[in-house]
Amino acid sequence: MAFIKKQTSQVINEDERKTPRDFNGLCVELNHEDSKVRRWAVRDLAEQLNASSVLVTRLEHEDDASVRTAILNALAKLGDTIAMNGLVACLRSEEAALRNEAIEILKELPYEVEPIIDGLLTDADSDVRIFAVNILESLRHQHVEQWLIGVIEKDPHVNVCSTALDLLSEVGSELAIPAIEKLKARFPDEPYVCFSADLALKRIEEGSR
């Protein structure tokens, strides 16, 4: 009797994914009890221009880490207003892992982040403002230094300013010198601010030689 090799569930799932599925069908699978089915649905919905809303809704309830990662990547790929708002909402999550994933993804979206970064940097929540500075750390955008200068000139929270100052010490130019000097005057009793400001000024001076 010939031996018949049994197909694995992974192969079956991949084959099923290749069959045509419409938006409504994918939305149904997005709530399937099997996380693998949900993950395939997310990946296919990333190709649907009207999928951001359902993906954001699913993200609010998703408890599987791999599916959440797939949703975040899908939202980054879609990049519309709803998708970006969904990613920003993660910055307010109590789950550090979700916040950090969202920050890492937003770092890779310089032009999608540009219209919303001013709002994040002036958010009422100082933690969100710090996360916004963290996003600027790797954001490949020509206005990063100007955004950071704005933070240390205007933000009232010392921790937010310190975070921005640390980054300015790495990316700042002579344009940042007046703002850094004013920051020292704003927080004269904060040793870390004074130390970081002096370090940033030194680095900028050395870099300009």
Note the pLDDT tens digit of each residue in 16-54. 554 447 899 999 999 999 999 999 999 999 999 899 999
- For the chain, what are the domain ranges? 13-106, 108-209
Residue in the structure block whose two tokens are 């200068």: 149
- Fold agreement (13-106, 108-209): yes
Give the pLDDT of residue 35.
Answer: 96
Give the pLDDT of residue 16.
Answer: 53
CATH 1.25.10 for the 108-209 domain, yes or no: yes
| Calpha distance 87→110 (Å, rounded) | 14
pTM: predicted TM-score of the whole model, two decimal places: 0.86
140-147: which pairs have CB atoms within 8 A and are 24 or more residues apart?
Answer: 140/110, 141/110, 141/111, 141/113, 141/114, 143/114, 144/171, 145/171, 145/172, 145/173, 145/175, 145/176, 146/175, 147/117, 147/118, 147/121
Q: What is the mean pLDDT of the chain?
A: 90
| Calpha distance 43→96 (Å, rounded) | 24
Fold of 13-106: Leucine-rich Repeat Variant (1.25.10)
| Calpha distance 43→74 (Å, rounded) | 7
